[in-house]
């Protein structure tokens, strides 16, 4: 391992990788980031520590640009996708190393992350859950309190566009039965917002709340034992219903994409959709408009006045 040249006068704890990762996470908490964001940082840095163990790297000052490039290649070979996986790990490491550099100002040390470009991200928008897939899933939600809960959960995801972490964090008190308003208190970046459910989803929610087991948990979505439903529990619901229906289970986030596309198809303007989805800017939503434009292209292809005329 080739070390950076120059007088780096730091204590062992100040350069020890795992110690500094722990300090980094404490700093994230001190910044009052959400629990989900802190867990996100913890998981991404755990990948980096695992890689460094394999390379016998224990100190930050041992890192070189080639080590970081090797880490990105290792992530890719381990099955991480370019966007939500490799690129996210790069951004987390980038934040960590820049903060460490700012904190300790090591003389003679050059931050290796400055020489490593982030991996390219495929900007292709992933497909939303299809309306036919949702219909099949709902048809597989027959019988009992679990069927009522799972049907209400699927309709709720499609009708609100909320993230899975927002869904599992909801409490009964966040839902207004009369208006269908739902307060999301801890959205991405700690931002709150209000979303809504329509008449059909409200009816399914009433059935779910009547039939769910008696419990003292304030959570809106609970297990049979009355405990708050987790992210993995929600994913298991979708997988179980998909297996029963004999279809491929949609990704949890695909319901959020379905919400966006269907709202645009039904005439909602971008600004209102931005507020409902909790986006900081319109950039992501503009990508959804391409899917709607494709709808118009196909519609014109089928109904073109010129192509359908005997001229």
How far CA 138 is from CA of 148, 152, 237, in Å, comes to 10, 9, 12
Distance CA 270, CA 115 (A): 38
Q: DSSP states of 197-228 as a string?
A: --HHHHHHHHHHHHHSPP-S--BSSB-TTSPB
Q: What is the pLDDT of residues 65-102, one digit of tens each?
A: 999 999 999 998 988 876 668 989 999 999 999 999 99
Q: What is the pLDDT of residues 6-50, one digit of tens each?
A: 557 688 888 999 999 999 999 999 988 878 789 889 999 999 999
Residue span(s) of the chain under CATH 1.10.150.130 come to 12-115
Q: What is the pLDDT of residues 251-273, one digit of tens each?
A: 999 999 999 888 888 888 888 98
**pLDDT tier at 1, thresholds 50, 70, 90:** very low
Residue span(s) of the chain under CATH 1.10.443.10 come to 131-298
Q: Which helix (H) or strand (E) holds 196?
A: strand 193-196
Distance CA 275, CA 281 (A): 9
Distance CA 52, CA 306 (A): 64
Inform me whether the pLDDT recorded for 142 exceeds 70. Answer: yes
pLDDT at site 289: 77
pLDDT at site 125: 66
Distance CA 80, CA 89 (A): 10
pLDDT at site 2: 44
Contacts of 141 (CB under 8 A, 6+ apart): 147, 148, 150, 151, 154, 241
Superfamily of domain 131-298: Intergrase catalytic core (1.10.443.10)
Q: pTM (2 decimals)?
A: 0.69
- Largest distance between two CA atoms of the chain: 85
How far CA 1 is from CA of 16, 20, 61, 97, in Å, comes to 16, 20, 11, 19
Contact 20, 48 (CB under 8 A): no
Distance CA 146, CA 167 (A): 17
Contact 285, 260 (CB under 8 A): yes
Averaged confidence pLDDT in the chain: 87
Domain over 12-115 is classified CATH 1.10.10.10: no
């Amino acid at each position: 391992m080739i070390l950076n040249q120059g007088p780096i006068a730091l204590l062992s704890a100040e350069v020890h990788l795992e110690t500094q990762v722990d300090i980094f996470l404490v700093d994230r908490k001190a910044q009052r980031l959400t629990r989900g964001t802190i867990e996100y940082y913890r998981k991404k840095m755990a990948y980096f520590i695992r890689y460094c163990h394999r390379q016998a790297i224990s100190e930050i000052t041992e890192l070189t640009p080639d080590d970081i490039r090797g880490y990105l290649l290792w992530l890719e070979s381990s099955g991480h996708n370019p966007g939500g996986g490799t690129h996210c790990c790069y951004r987390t490491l980038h934040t960590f190393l820049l903060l460490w550099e700012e904190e300790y100002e090591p003389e003679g040390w050059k931050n290796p992350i400055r020489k490593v470009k982030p991996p390219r991200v495929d900007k292709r928008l992933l497909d939303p859950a299809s309306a036919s897939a949702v219909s099949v899933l709902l048809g597989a939600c027959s019988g009992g309190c679990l069927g009522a809960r799972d049907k209400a959960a699927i309709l709720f995801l499609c009708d609100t566009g909320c993230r899975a972490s927002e869904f599992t964090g909801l409490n009964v008190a966040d839902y207004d039965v009369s208006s269908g308003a739902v307060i999301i208190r801890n959205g991405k970046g700690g931002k709150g917002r209000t979303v809504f459910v329509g008449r059909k989803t409200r009816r399914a929610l009433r059935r779910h709340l009547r039939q769910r087991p008696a419990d003292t948990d304030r959570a809106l979505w609970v297990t049979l034992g009355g405990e708050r439903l987790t992210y993995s529990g929600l994913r298991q619901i979708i997988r179980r219903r998909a297996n029963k229906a004999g279809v491929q289970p949609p990704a949890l986030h695909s319901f959020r994409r379905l919400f966006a596309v269907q709202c645009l198809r039904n005439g909602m303007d971008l600004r209102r959709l931005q507020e409902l989805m909790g986006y900081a800017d319109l950039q992501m939503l503009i990508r959804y408009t391409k899917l709607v434009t494709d709808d118009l292209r196909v519609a014109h292809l089928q109904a073109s006045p010129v192509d359908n005329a005997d001229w």
